[in-house]
């Protein structure tokens, strides 16, 4: 299985800045066969960057899309419109859930729309600090995971990348803390146990699980060696060329 390094640029970079960053990153990176590098720029930059990107070196992801293919939905972009521009889409990120009010039903519809349009969903799941404090982590993870996959067939589950992003460990969160490898391992093991229980051992083994939460060059190696972790979803460090390149290089070393 490949190792995935996904850089989520969130609401940063103009189109021109995004183009310059991508140009520099492409020049710096060789073609890593075993490491899939993915960048998720703001939606306004997706089309121009799709013409600029070298897809042998990296792929593009959307940060969000709407689950209906077409219609009277002012301001939205559909997965159908993204088909051919991106290979991945981040779905269910905690900022979408808690700032924009997206619930599990909407997340499930987006996962299904992505699969329907041959775009790989990156399904984000994770508990808040209070949920962890009150011992609700396992219930939250089970609910978000199974709800997120509920609108697709069992044969498509392994096409989804599952990203465990504890809300309390995301760098943009107030009072964010670093997740320990043991804490991550516990949840990743749980994710695979749930997948095995519901969809079978083969699906559980084939489904890639990523970790995201204040990932930087100093902790990327430790996170990538957590049993069952197949990659990283990177936030702030993904905006700094040298740091993102270091994380990618770390993934290559760990993979080797």
Length reported for the chain: 256
Catalytic annotation, pick one of 93, 102, 151, 183: 93
Q: How large is the greatest C-alpha to C-alpha distance in the chain, in angstroms?
A: 49
What are the C-alpha distances in Å from 220 to residues 42, 211, 230, 231, 236? Answer: 24, 10, 12, 9, 13
Residues 63-85, buried b or exposed e (16+ Cβ, 10 A)?
A: bbbbbeeeeeeeeeebbbbbeeb
The candidate with the shortest Cα–Cα distance to 6, out of 31, 40, 54, 34, is 40
Catalytic annotation, pick one of 95, 102, 127, 165: 165
Task: Assess contact for 27 and 7: CB atoms under 8 A.
Answer: no
Q: Which secondary structure element, helix H or strand E, spans residue 12, and what is its range?
A: none
Neighbours of 24 (CB within 10 A): 13
* 93 catalytically annotated: yes
Unique residue bearing structure tokens 């994380």: 247
* 186 catalytically annotated: no
Distance of alpha carbon 216 from alpha carbon 237, whole angstroms: 6
Catalytic machinery residues: 93, 165
């Amino acid at each position: 299985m490949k190792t995935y390094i996904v850089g989520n640029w969130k609401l940063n970079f103009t189109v021109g800045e995004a183009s310059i960053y991508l140009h520099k990153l492409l020049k710096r990176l060789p073609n890593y066969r075993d490491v899939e590098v993915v960048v998720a720029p703001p939606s306004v930059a997706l089309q121009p960057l799709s013409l600029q990107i070298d897809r042998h070196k990296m792929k593009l992801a959307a940060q969000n899309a709407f689950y209906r293919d077409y219609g009277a939905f002012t301001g939205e972009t559909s997965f159908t419109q993204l088909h051919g521009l991106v290979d991945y889409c981040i779905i269910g990120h905690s900022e979408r859930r808690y700032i924009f009010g997206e619930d599990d039903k909407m997340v499930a519809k987006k996962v299904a729309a992505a699969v329907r349009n041959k775009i790989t969903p990156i399904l984000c799941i994770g508990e808040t600090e209070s949920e962890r404090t009150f011992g609700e982590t396992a219930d939250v993870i089970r609910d978000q995971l199974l709800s997120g996959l509920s609108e697709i067939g069992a044969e498509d589950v392994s096409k989804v990348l599952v990203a465990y992003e504890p809300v309390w460990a995301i760098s943009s969160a107030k009072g964010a803390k670093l997740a320990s490898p043991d804490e991550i391992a516990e949840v990743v093991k749980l994710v695979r146990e749930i997948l095995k229980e519901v969809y079978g051992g083969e699906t559980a083994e084939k489904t890639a699980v990523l970790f995201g939460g204040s990932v930087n060059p100093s902790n990327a190696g430790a996170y990538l060696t957590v049993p069952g972790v197949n990659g990283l979803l990177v936030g702030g460090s993904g905006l700094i060329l040298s740091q993102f390149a270091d994380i990618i290089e770390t993934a290559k070393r760990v993979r080797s």
